[in-house]
């Protein structure tokens, strides 16, 4: 009798390709896209229904019943499921794990779901007695708040009001007491923005907006605009267009670019329900936003990489800001690229998508050149300010003090004396990148990685930047016993120290992951920069994006050379992007800026190209080089990665994997080779690079690999994964 029960197909979060069939109670509502709690083997798991009324090929007595259906309405709609099926196929990742990756963490677990009341809001009472308002004459704070709430037109989140009006709690309570406003429960996780007036556009901006408006259906556009050219305003104009038609907008930004300023701008511009998804939000809040977006309650969703998988039934526009940013590519598990998934999503939904950057990825420029994307360019800053001049300081045979050369110090001084701000960029945190024995050449290694330990806190601590292990710094060389240990090279801490001794009267602030560990620290430091209290800024990548520093007139970049001679073919592209982005921080208002790059390779052709032709000139040369070497975007790559505790296992597995490939003229296989850092966190890593001249050749091989590799005996000894379109070969 049990075989008469309906059978559903479930995607289970395990590293297995394929789905599993289960029996379900005929009386229960169990639609495609709903989660189910099941027993898989002996353990309980949460899976997602991907098909119903299935004719199972599995013996009826092996089918288990679903323990519980967790959602009576689908959590994944048809469009999102289709996108995720595509994603699983494209990245050759198991469907169940793909769906689990898309889901907010709170929904991956079993949980009796209680609708959240985390988000409370206030709205104006329409028929409030006139005398109540008249009584506000001696309460300016209350007047101000009431006006703000009325201007919004609908409910405003409590948190939003507190952020805009510090200490608003009491006046809000007073207004409620007078019956002028009332508390309402907002859809969980969402906040409500207030309508703002758009600023006048420059004619360049207006041209782009006008051209964007002529597009219909799937319309990918690249907006290549120099820093300060006002790309955000263009996004906002298009968002307004789309929101006015009653559709939803999905806005993606890298974690580092998703600043409070950007979110505030959004809030004070659109009288819309906004869902914010970023790493600082709790699991519960993320789940709330996800559900609200899926129910069509959110008008705008703004978030980082994983936000691309938010269900949005009325989606009308996708924006990918800083589209070149490496954080759009996930580095483990489902190794997806959110920009590429976004393009697929826009295509499926037949809607426009805007990719914006001052330094577009070479892949994106190539697509624009090939006519796949409409290419819009903004070469002038919206303020009319000049772009800074970028110049080199040759540091060959020059002594460095804390990473700084004398000429750079001398360039900085006048800017500080004039009361302006200076930023020093170094892509290395900590005090120094190695602790080195002056007598025998030994340097303190990480015991779990093939990498030196980084010195932190003025020679006191050693930290491995690859596995996170830390130890006390030794006082004598472990190899020869010498006491002449020196910290070699410079990181942010050392640079900050050197600057303090050169400019003792100037306040120096350090911006890196270590100094930002405490919550709110970044905001506090940025406030000091905005007020002019901080004059010297030292930092990593973190300083490169999303911040406006009105008084910044000089930028120094200490180590561009690392980007010129890396094993990674994308290193020069990253170097050019970072240099251009940090340079864009300088001279934003009416003050002209200057940028100095320290280098030992002033004749390097890519550096010369970047200085002479700016990022577009560099990109042209870089694309020519990629074409000559058949590297992306002119060739297509997939990386088979393997790691294990013993060195030989990854190699054996990859060698066996390489055997299974039918190598032809247009398909090449490189390796197996040890990864550039062969041992990391105690595991030995190696990989096999697959190169195809056409993408269509690559995917059939990967399709077969997906099943074949799992059956290789050697596969059981390693952890392996397929990385399609790898971003870094490390």
Partner DNA sequence: AAAAGCGGTACG
Partner DNA sequence: GTACCGCTTTTC
Residues in contact with DNA by the rule CB under 7 A: 14-16, 18, 20-22, 38-43, 56, 58, 62-64, 713, 716, 719
State which H helix or E strand residue 584 sits in: none
For DNA, which is the closer residue by CB, 487 or 642?
A: 642
How far apart CA 311 and CA 480 sit, in angstroms, is 61
For DNA, which is the closer residue by CB, 240 or 715?
A: 715
For DNA, which is the closer residue by CB, 20 or 91?
A: 20
- Give, to the nearest 10 degrees, the angle between helix 260-267 and helix 231-244: 40
Count of residues making up the chain: 730
Q: Is 554 annotated as a binding residue?
A: no
For DNA, which is the closer residue by CB, 58 or 486?
A: 58
Residues 701-722, buried b or exposed e (16+ Cβ, 10 A)? bbeebeeebeebebbebbbbbb
Residues β-bridged to residue 610: none
Instruction: Output phi, psi for 235, to 5 deg.
Output: -55, -45
Q: Is 669 annotated as a binding residue?
A: no
Q: What is the DSSP letter of 692?
A: E
For DNA, which is the closer residue by CB, 19 or 364?
A: 19
The least distance separating DNA from the CB of residue 22, rounded to whole angstroms, comes to 5
Query: How many Cβ atoms from other residues are within 10 Å of residue 93's Cβ?
Result: 23
Nearest to 353 by CA among 335, 330, 372: 372
Q: What is the CA radius of gyration of the chain?
A: 28
How far apart CA 311 and CA 689 sit, in angstroms, is 34
Q: Is 467 annotated as a binding residue?
A: yes
For DNA, which is the closer residue by CB, 64 or 120?
A: 64
For DNA, which is the closer residue by CB, 18 or 605?
A: 18
The least distance separating DNA from the CB of residue 34, rounded to whole angstroms, comes to 17
For DNA, which is the closer residue by CB, 413 or 717?
A: 717
The least distance separating DNA from the CB of residue 103, rounded to whole angstroms, comes to 17
The least distance separating DNA from the CB of residue 426, rounded to whole angstroms, comes to 37
The least distance separating DNA from the CB of residue 559, rounded to whole angstroms, comes to 37
Q: Under 8 Å CB-to-CB from 358, ≥6 apart: which residues?
A: 224, 225, 226, 227, 229, 231, 580, 581, 584, 615
For DNA, which is the closer residue by CB, 17 or 165?
A: 17
For DNA, which is the closer residue by CB, 56 or 706?
A: 56
The least distance separating DNA from the CB of residue 43, rounded to whole angstroms, comes to 5
Nearest to 418 by CA among 312, 535, 528, 575: 535
CB-CB contact of 77 with 37 (8 Å):
no
Residues 488-515, buried b or exposed e (16+ Cβ, 10 A)? ebbbbbbbbbbbbebbeebebbbbbebb
For DNA, which is the closer residue by CB, 290 or 649?
A: 649
The least distance separating DNA from the CB of residue 45, rounded to whole angstroms, comes to 9
DSSP assignments along 283-342, one per residue? HHHHHHHHHHHHTT--SEEEESGGGGG---TTEEEEEEETTT-GGGB--SSS--BHHHHH
- The alpha carbon of residue 632 and the mean position of all alpha carbons in its chain are separated, in whole angstroms, by 21
Is the bond preceding 672 in cis, omega lying within 30 degrees of 0?
A: yes
Give just the sign of the alpha carbon dihedral 163, 166, 167, 169.
Answer: negative
Q: Where are the beta strands (DSSP E) in 468-584?
A: 470-472, 485-488, 508-511, 536-539, 552-557
State which H helix or E strand residue 416 sits in: helix 406-417
Q: How many CA atoms lie within 13 A of 508 on its CB side?
A: 18
Instruction: Output phi, psi for 463, to 5 deg.
Output: -130, 135
Residues β-bridged to residue 354: 221, 319
For DNA, which is the closer residue by CB, 610 or 642?
A: 642
- Give, to the nearest 10 degrees, the angle between helix 140-152 and helix 169-177: 80
For DNA, which is the closer residue by CB, 176 or 467?
A: 467
The least distance separating DNA from the CB of residue 724, rounded to whole angstroms, comes to 18
CA distances from 452 to 346, 460, 488, 648, 680 (A): 44, 15, 11, 23, 11
How far apart CA 643 and CA 407 sit, in angstroms, is 46
How far apart CA 286 and CA 438 sit, in angstroms, is 52
The least distance separating DNA from the CB of residue 20, rounded to whole angstroms, comes to 4
Q: Where are the beta strands (DSSP E) in 515-602?
A: 536-539, 552-557, 594-599
Show binding-site residues for Zn(2+): 437, 440, 446, 449, 464, 467, 477, 480
Show binding-site residues: 437, 440, 446, 449, 464, 467, 477, 480
């Amino acid at each position: 009798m049990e075989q008469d029960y309906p059978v559903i197909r479930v995607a289970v979060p395990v590293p297995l390709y394929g789905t599993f069939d289960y029996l379900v109670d005929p009386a229960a509502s169990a639609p495609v896209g709903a989660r189910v709690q099941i027993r898989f083997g002996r353990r309980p798991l949460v899976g997602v229904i991907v098909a119903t009324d299935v004719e199972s090929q599995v013996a009826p007595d092996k089918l288990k019943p679903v323990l519980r259906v967790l959602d009576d309405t689908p959590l994944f709609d048809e469009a999102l499921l289709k996108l995720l099926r595509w994603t699983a196929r494209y990245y050759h990742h198991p469907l169940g794990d793909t769906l689990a990756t898309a889901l907010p963490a709170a929904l991956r677990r079993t949980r009796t779901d209680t609708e959240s009341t985390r988000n409370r809001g206030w709205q104006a009472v329409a028929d409030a007695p006139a005398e109540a308002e008249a009584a506000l004459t001696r309460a300016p704070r209350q007047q101000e708040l009431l006006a703000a709430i009325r201007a919004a037109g609908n409910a405003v989140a409590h948190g939003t009001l507190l952020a805009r009006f510090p200490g608003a709690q009491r006046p809000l309570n007073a207004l409620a007491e007078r019956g002028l406003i009332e508390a309402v429960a907002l859809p969980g996780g969402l906040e409500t923005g207030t309508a703002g007036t758009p600023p006048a556009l420059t004619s360049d901006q207006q041209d782009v907006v006008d051209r964007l408006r002529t597009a219909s259906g799937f319309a990918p556009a690249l907006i290549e605009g120099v820093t300060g050219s006002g790309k955000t305003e263009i996004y906002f104009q298009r968002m307004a267009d789309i929101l006015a038609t009653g559709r939803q907008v999905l806005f993606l930004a890298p974690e580092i670019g998703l600043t409070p300023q950007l979110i505030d701008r959004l809030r004070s511009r659109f009288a819309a329900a906004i869902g914010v998804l970023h790493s600082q939000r709790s699991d519960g809040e993320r789940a709330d936003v996800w559900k609200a977006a899926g129910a069509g309650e959110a008008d705008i969703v703004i978030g980082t990489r994983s936000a691309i998988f938010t269900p949005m039934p009325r989606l009308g526009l996708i924006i990918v800001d800083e589209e070149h940013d490496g954080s759009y590519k996930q580095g483990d598990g489902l190794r997806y690229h959110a920009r590429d998934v976004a393009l697929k999503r826009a295509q499926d939904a037949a809607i426009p998508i805007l990719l914006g950057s001052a330094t577009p990825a070479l892949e994106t420029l190539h697509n624009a050149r090939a006519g796949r994307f409409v290419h819009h360019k903004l070469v002038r800053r919206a303020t009319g300010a000049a772009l800074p001049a970028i110049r080199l300081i040759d540091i060959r045979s020059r002594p460095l003090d804390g990473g700084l050369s004398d000429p750079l110090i001398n360039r900085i001084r006048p800017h500080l004396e004039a009361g302006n701000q200076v930023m020093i960029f170094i892509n290395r945190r900590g005090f120094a990148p190695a602790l080195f024995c002056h007598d025998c050449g030994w340097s303190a290694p990480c015991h779990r990685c093939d990498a030196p330990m980084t010195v932190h806190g003025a020679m006191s601590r050693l930290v491995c930047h690859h596995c996170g292990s830390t130890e006390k710094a030794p006082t004598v060389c472990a190899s020869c016993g010498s006491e002449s240990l020196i910290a070699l090279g410079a990181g942010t801490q050392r640079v900050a120290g050197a600057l303090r001794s050169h400019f003792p009267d100037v306040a120096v602030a350090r911006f890196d992951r270590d100094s930002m560990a405490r919550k709110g620290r970044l905001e506090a430091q940025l406030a000091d920069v905005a007020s002019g209290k901080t004059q010297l800024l030292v930092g990593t990548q973190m300083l490169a994006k999303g911040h406006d520093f009105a008084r910044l007139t000089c930028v120094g970049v200490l180590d561009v050379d690392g980007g010129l001679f890396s094993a990674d073919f994308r290193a020069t592209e990253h170097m050019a992007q970072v240099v251009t982005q940090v340079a864009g921080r300088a001279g934003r208002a009416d003050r002209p800026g200057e940028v100095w790059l320290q280098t030992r390779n002033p004749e390097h052709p890519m550096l010369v190209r970047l200085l002479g032709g700016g990022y577009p000139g560099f990109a042209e040369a870089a694309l020519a080089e990629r074409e000559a070497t058949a590297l992306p975007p002119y060739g297509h790559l997939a990386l088979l990665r393997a790691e294990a505790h013993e060195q030989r296992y990854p190699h054996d597995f990859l060698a066996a994997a390489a055997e299974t490939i039918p190598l032809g003229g247009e398909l090449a296989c490189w390796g197996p080779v040890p990864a550039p850092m062969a041992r990391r966190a105690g595991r030995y890593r190696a990989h096999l690079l697959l190169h195809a001249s056409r993408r269509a050749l690559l995917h059939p091989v990967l399709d077969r690999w997906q099943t074949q590799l799992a059956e290789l005996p050697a596969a059981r000894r390693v952890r392996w994964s397929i990385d399609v379109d790898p971003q870094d070969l490390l």
